Amino acid sequence: MKGFGTLEYVMDRYSQSWSWKITGERAVNMVSHLMPHSWCGDGPDEAIVPDNTQNVRHIQWMVDRYPVEVISKSIWSRRASKPAPMRVDRAGRTAGLERARPGAQFRGKLLDFQRQGLDFLIKSSGNALLADEMGLGKTVQTLAYLSTERRALPALVVAPLVTLHNWQGEIEKFVKKKSRNGRILGDRSPSSVIIRSGRPGAIGAHDYYVINYELLGKRLPDLSRLGVRSLVCDEVQNLRSKSTKKYAAVRSLASLPTVERRIGLSGTPIYNRGSEIWPIVDILKPGLLGNYAEFCDYFCYVNDRGKAIVLESKRDTLRMELQKHVMLRRKKSDVLRELKGKVRYKEIIDSDTDYYLGELGRIWDKLEAERQAARTAQDRSLSLRRAVQSERQAAGAAKIPHAVNFVKNIMEIEESVVVFCHHKYIHRVLHDRLAEFSPVSIVGGQPDADRQDAIDSFQGGSSKLMIAGLRAGNVGINLSRARYVVFAELDWSPAIHRQAEDRLHRIGQRSTVFAYYLVGRGTLDDHVAGILVDKGYEIDSIMDGAADASENREKAELILAQIQDRLRDR
């Protein structure tokens, strides 16, 4: 029985109350028999037991019979009392420590790891960053929490424009209406409204308000009068810059005296640089990382472009501080044992090199003319950016016939397929060339109703081909019917591709997801693909995220240098 377990009197950081911490596999297993209402601790062999008379008697029963090492001896000697006779049902199976259960207003069923997420939000008093990988149900966990806490409504959900209707649909699906006298109306859903107008005016009384980030500043006075108690920021990486208007608007709302809960949701909370986590945390838990100057002094150095970069030696420390106090992060590989894997392939396909080189010539001539006419460094930078975008579109257009054949080969085995591209021109051509499969589309600027119809048609099986814009279809949608995703064009950011892949690789997916990155032979796709394919960009820590913007500029300059070399060789 050596090493049975330890007993220590600690301040539980979530409940902010003094509790008993019990560690050790055998001791925690015993606690699961004796005290099923205890909290799980930080590790698998740790339990937090509330300090009350009944629990102390349970603990004393265990201490008297097993070699538990009592660390807080003086406190234990004062709190312990003679135990009453007790019996433990050894025939029953160990149920484990009880996780939080959603309140009566919640009509869904949570998976075990989602109950852990609810548990985390409750312990954090609703001021936390839920950073689960995409596809693990952050929306559902949040609605379960708001349905569990008393006086959590009205709630304001701030989200990207393309996800507003998804939020309203999830509210109707998972939450029951509660009347003023507290009665649960299971056949009704809470009232919700999507705010789509920037014109000032009274909004009216609702349980849930849903608005996109871009409208916040315009409707701030109206929102401030709603008495919001819970603020939810979906895709909270939108607040990574403290100099933007949307950040200022959210900060103003978060500081209202009625707001008691501030929840941030994002599978990619660190998008470009580690220092971008400070504005997010400062809204959710002000002061946790100090003020911005203090944060930078301790964690960062400033590069030659004036950007605060987290020191490599401090990245682990920052990650541990986040996970200890404000952030819950789970990967699909950790919690969804039944979810199959995700496999990436770099597929080299032919391209129209004559067309491509001709386009490069025009791009270079235009760039040279614009550089000579440029008056400022900003003008030259914009010219460079336009040239790179033009090269990316030329590369996409040069490989269209072969990309179409690649997709057709998959469609011949009657599999559902999602094709992602970047430029609207490429999107339109792909749609025309694959018209025989009656594809549905998601594209920027699309009406909400058309977008939802396309998703429903694909998920329902009416169409087996979805063509989606990389920036328009990478968040807020479920395309789990398909297991093949094809990238006809490549984006600079690994996070963008990962978000797109995870439209398929999520709860409900029963097969391995195959992601194909189509690289045009004879184009500069291979240089871009080297940044993206086979790169482990699991954003679990401060070291993960998209490439730094300065790195993107350097890559752009390298691409243009290669363009020039190719043209000289002609």
**SS3 of 42, please?**
coil
500-527: string of b/e by CB count within 10 Å (b at 16+)? bbbbbbbbebeeebbbbbbbbebbbbee
Amino acid 503: pLDDT: 77
376: DSSP letter: S
Q: Tell me the two tokens of residue 188.
A: 């009704």
* CB 299 within 8 Å of CB 278: no
pTM score, whole prediction: 0.61
Kindly tell me if the per-residue pLDDT of 238 is higher than 50.
yes
99: DSSP letter: P
**SS3 of 403, please?**
helix
Confidence of residue 495 (pLDDT cuts 50, 70, 90): low
16: DSSP letter: T
Kindly tell me if the per-residue pLDDT of 182 is higher than 80.
no
Confidence of residue 86 (pLDDT cuts 50, 70, 90): very low
Domains and CATH numbers, the chain: 5-79 (no CATH), 112-335 (3.40.50.10810), 342-569 (3.40.50.300)
Amino acid 542: pLDDT: 42
Kindly tell me if the per-residue pLDDT of 93 is higher than 50.
no
Confidence of residue 32 (pLDDT cuts 50, 70, 90): confident
Kindly tell me if the per-residue pLDDT of 372 is higher than 70.
yes
Q: Tell me the two tokens of residue 540.
A: 């679990």
DSSP codes joined into one string, 452-475? HHHHHHHHHTS-SEEEEETTTSSS
* CB 20 within 8 Å of CB 7: yes
- Other residues' Cβ atoms within 10 Å of the Cβ of residue 425: 13
Q: At what angle do helices 525-532 and 494-501 cross, to 10 degrees?
A: 70
Higher pLDDT, 201 or 514: 201
Per-residue pLDDT averaged across 99-108, rounded?
Answer: 84
Kindly tell me if the per-residue pLDDT of 95 is higher than 80.
no
Amino acid 553: pLDDT: 43
Amino acid 209: pLDDT: 96
Q: Nearest CA to 242 among 273, 278, 271, 266?
A: 278
Amino acid 475: pLDDT: 64
